[in-house]
Protein backbone atom coordinates (compact mmCIF):
# COMPACT_ATOMS: atom_id res chain seq x y z
CA UNK A 1 0.00 0.00 0.00
CA UNK A 2 1.26 3.46 -0.88
CA UNK A 3 0.68 6.46 1.36
CA UNK A 4 0.91 10.17 0.65
CA UNK A 5 1.53 13.18 2.87
CA UNK A 6 -1.44 15.34 3.72
CA UNK A 7 -2.13 18.14 6.18
CA UNK A 8 1.39 19.46 6.86
CA UNK A 9 1.27 21.64 10.00
CA UNK A 10 3.53 23.44 12.48
CA UNK A 11 6.46 23.92 10.09
CA UNK A 12 9.43 25.42 11.98
CA UNK A 13 12.72 26.40 10.31
CA UNK A 14 15.60 26.68 12.80
CA UNK A 15 19.21 27.67 12.13
CA UNK A 16 21.93 26.43 14.50
CA UNK A 17 25.43 27.90 14.41
CA UNK A 18 28.32 25.72 15.56
CA UNK A 19 30.50 28.82 16.15
CA UNK A 20 33.22 27.29 13.97
CA UNK A 21 34.55 28.37 10.57
CA UNK A 22 36.06 26.27 7.81
CA UNK A 23 39.35 27.03 6.03
CA UNK A 24 37.56 29.46 3.73
CA UNK A 25 36.18 31.36 6.73
CA UNK A 26 32.58 30.20 6.24
CA UNK A 27 30.56 29.75 9.43
CA UNK A 28 29.47 26.13 9.87
CA UNK A 29 25.99 25.31 11.02
CA UNK A 30 22.78 23.48 10.29
CA UNK A 31 19.25 24.25 9.26
CA UNK A 32 16.64 22.00 10.87
CA UNK A 33 13.07 21.89 9.57
CA UNK A 34 10.49 20.29 11.85
CA UNK A 35 6.81 19.71 11.19
CA UNK A 36 3.86 17.44 11.76
CA UNK A 37 2.25 15.57 8.92
CA UNK A 38 -0.56 13.14 8.32
CA UNK A 39 -0.13 10.22 5.94
CA UNK A 40 -3.16 8.81 4.16
CA UNK A 41 -3.59 5.87 1.84
CA UNK A 42 -2.81 6.93 -1.72
CA UNK A 43 -5.48 6.53 -4.36
CA UNK A 44 -5.30 3.32 -6.39
CA UNK A 45 -4.22 5.38 -9.41
CA UNK A 46 -1.26 6.99 -7.60
CA UNK A 47 2.03 6.67 -9.43
CA UNK A 48 4.17 7.55 -6.41
CA UNK A 49 4.04 7.49 -2.64
CA UNK A 50 5.70 6.04 0.45
CA UNK A 51 5.75 2.29 0.92
CA UNK A 52 7.26 2.10 4.41
CA UNK A 53 5.04 4.62 6.21
CA UNK A 54 1.56 3.48 7.21
CA UNK A 55 -1.31 5.97 7.45
CA UNK A 56 -1.24 8.09 10.61
CA UNK A 57 0.08 11.24 12.26
CA UNK A 58 3.86 11.76 12.34
CA UNK A 59 6.47 14.21 13.59
CA UNK A 60 9.14 14.96 11.01
CA UNK A 61 12.48 16.67 10.63
CA UNK A 62 14.90 17.34 7.83
CA UNK A 63 18.45 18.51 8.55
CA UNK A 64 20.67 20.43 6.15
CA UNK A 65 24.32 21.38 6.65
CA UNK A 66 25.02 25.08 6.07
CA UNK A 67 27.94 27.36 5.37
CA UNK A 68 27.28 31.05 6.12
CA UNK A 69 23.62 30.09 6.64
CA UNK A 70 23.38 28.78 3.06
CA UNK A 71 22.65 25.12 2.24
CA UNK A 72 25.83 23.11 1.77
CA UNK A 73 26.34 19.57 0.55
CA UNK A 74 23.78 16.94 -0.30
CA UNK A 75 20.16 17.44 0.71
CA UNK A 76 18.95 15.15 3.45
CA UNK A 77 15.73 13.17 3.31
CA UNK A 78 13.03 13.86 5.88
CA UNK A 79 12.74 11.48 8.81
CA UNK A 80 9.39 10.58 10.38
CA UNK A 81 8.66 9.63 14.00
CA UNK A 82 5.59 8.47 15.90
CA UNK A 83 6.06 11.01 18.74
CA UNK A 84 7.45 14.52 19.14
CA UNK A 85 9.80 13.21 21.84
CA UNK A 86 11.38 10.69 19.47
CA UNK A 87 11.77 13.36 16.80
CA UNK A 88 13.32 15.82 19.26
CA UNK A 89 15.74 13.14 20.46
CA UNK A 90 16.79 12.46 16.84
CA UNK A 91 17.26 16.19 16.18
CA UNK A 92 19.45 16.52 19.28
CA UNK A 93 21.53 13.50 18.22
CA UNK A 94 21.97 14.89 14.70
CA UNK A 95 23.08 18.29 15.99
CA UNK A 96 25.46 16.73 18.51
CA UNK A 97 27.12 14.59 15.85
CA UNK A 98 27.27 17.46 13.36
CA UNK A 99 28.80 19.78 15.97
CA UNK A 100 31.46 17.18 16.85
CA UNK A 101 32.33 16.73 13.16
CA UNK A 102 32.66 20.49 12.69
CA UNK A 103 34.80 20.99 15.76
CA UNK A 104 37.10 18.18 14.66
CA UNK A 105 38.24 20.18 11.62
- Nearest residue to 69 via CA among 27, 97, 40: 27
- Tell if the pTM clears 0.95, that is, is over it: no
pLDDT at 104: 79
Q: In the chain, how many domains are there?
A: 1
Cα distance between residue 38 and residue 77, in whole Å: 17
Quote the domain boundaries for residue 42. Answer: 3-103
The torsion angles phi and psi of 3, rounded to 5 degrees, stand at -125, 160
Q: What is the model's pLDDT at position 75?
A: 86
What number of residues does the chain have?
A: 105
3-class DSSP assignment, residue 77: coil
The stretch 73-83 carries a mean pLDDT of 93
- Checking if the pLDDT of 105 tops 70, the result is no
Amino acid sequence: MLTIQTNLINLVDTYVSFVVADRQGRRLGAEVLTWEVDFAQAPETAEWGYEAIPPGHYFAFRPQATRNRQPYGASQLPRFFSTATRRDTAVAAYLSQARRRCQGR
